[in-house]
């Protein structure tokens, strides 16, 4: 389809690279291109450099995308591959999501070397997670549990479990599956128990708005169902003005042209929760997300968000 070298921007973590490689493989298959037609450009982000404290203390979303987006704007790369749950709801001027890959498993994974599920943990057990959403949801289900901050890759977290820093932790099923580490999942957590982060399990390809060649290149990779669901969820998040400092969750499902969306916000201690579920046509994906957000705000969600 083209002769130019396509530069794919990504973070350097194992998961980010696995996602970039997946995009490259799909592009190779879609256009019968050799691997040499692509250059994977690793870019270190602010989120990668902060290892000594929870990211929620540093700022909101965008910590894993800012430097990559700058490279895209400056034309040092042609496209960027992101975990959609890391992306800000408002993109920088001149950039857009050009394609969304088919979504992986949206659920959270319970991981423990000793226990079979969150419910099976002994009273007062220590759970490791740095996600405020997961902390709030865990506290809502098991207020007796203790939470400790837990960052790092899968192997780092498993080592911490072996060292008994905690008895359990949580990661996204999607990331573990993409890394070929699904065997580390003790038990997937039903979304009825722990609603996932907005856009969890979805990979987005970001491009420049005026780059028609790259838009055409990635167009075959776009999964319409995933894109509609993610659009709903991100509209919900944008209306709530949520950040990494706010426990917010949401999941949209598409069935026969009808979207069903469930959203929630919680207080950090899990004691307060406001949930809303509504349905609507796929053609009104963003409107559905806004409707659910407005419903939550009108029923006490604003007070929960403001602490």
Conformation bin of residue 205: beta by default, left when phi > 0, alpha when psi is -120 to 50: beta
d(Cα 185, Cα 189) in Å, to the nearest integer? Answer: 10
Options 78, 86, 105, 211, the catalytic residue: 86
Spatial distance between the Cα atoms of 148 and 298, rounded to a whole number of angstroms:
33
Active site residue 86: yes
Q: What is the DSSP letter of 11?
A: -
Q: How far is CA 30 from CA 3, 17, 33, 181, 274, in A?
A: 15, 20, 8, 27, 43
DSSP 38-79: EEEEE---HHHH--SS-GGGT-STTTTTHHHHHHHHTTS-SE
Token pair of 214 as six digits: 């790259």
Question: Residues, the chain, total?
Answer: 307
Using CB atoms within 10 Å of the CB of residue 122, give its burial: 0 to 12 exposed, 13 to 18 middle, 19+ buried. Answer: exposed
Place of tokens 């399990």: 201
| DSSP letter string, 98-127 | EEEPPP---SEEEE-SS-SSTTTSPTT-EE
Q: What is the DSSP letter of 195?
A: P
Written as six digits, the tokens of 61 are 């979303």
Residue 260: which of 195, 216, 205, 213 has the closest Cα? 195
Provide the CA 180 distance to its chain's centre, in angstroms.
18
Q: Are 166 and 128 in contact (CB under 8 A)?
A: yes
C-alpha closest to that of 286 among 227, 223, 238, 235: 235
User: What positions carry a catalytic annotation?
Assistant: 86
């Amino acid at each position: 389809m083209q002769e130019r070298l396509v530069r794919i921007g990504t973070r350097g973590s194992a998961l980010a690279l696995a996602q970039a490689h997946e995009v490259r493989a799909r592009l190779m298959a879609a256009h019968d291109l050799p691997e040499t037609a692509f250059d994977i450009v690793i870019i270190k982000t602010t989120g990668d450099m902060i290892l000594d404290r929870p990211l929620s203390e540093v700022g909101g979303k965008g910590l894993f995308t800012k430097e990559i987006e700058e490279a895209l704007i400056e034309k040092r790369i042609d496209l960027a591959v992101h975990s959609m749950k890391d992306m800000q709801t408002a993109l920088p001027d001149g950039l857009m999501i050009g394609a969304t890959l088919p979504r992986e498993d949206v659920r959270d994974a319970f991981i423990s070397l000793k226990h079979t599920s969150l419910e099976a943990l002994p009273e007062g057990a220590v759970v490791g997670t740095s996600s405020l959403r997961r902390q709030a949801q865990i506290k809502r289900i098991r207020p007796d549990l203790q939470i400790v901050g837990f960052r790092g890759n899968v192997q780092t977290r498993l080592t911490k479990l072996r060292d008994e820093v905690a008895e359990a932790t949580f990661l996204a099923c999607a990331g573990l599956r993409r890394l070929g580490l699904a065997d580390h999942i003790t038990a997937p957590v039903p979304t009825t128990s722990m609603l996932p982060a907005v856009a969890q399990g979805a990979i987005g390809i970001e491009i420049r708005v005026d780059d028609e060649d790259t838009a055409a290149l990635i167009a075959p990779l776009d999964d319409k169902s995933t894109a509609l669901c993610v659009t709903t969820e991100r509209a919900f998040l944008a209306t709530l003005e949520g950040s990494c400092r706010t426990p917010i969750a949401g999941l949209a499902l598409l069935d026969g042209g009808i979207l069903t969306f469930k959203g929630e916000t919680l207080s950090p201690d899990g004691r307060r929760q406001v949930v809303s579920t509504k349905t609507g046509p796929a053609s009104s994906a963003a409107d559905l997300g806004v409707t659910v957000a407005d419903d939550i705000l009108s029923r006490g969600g604003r007070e929960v968000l403001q602490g």
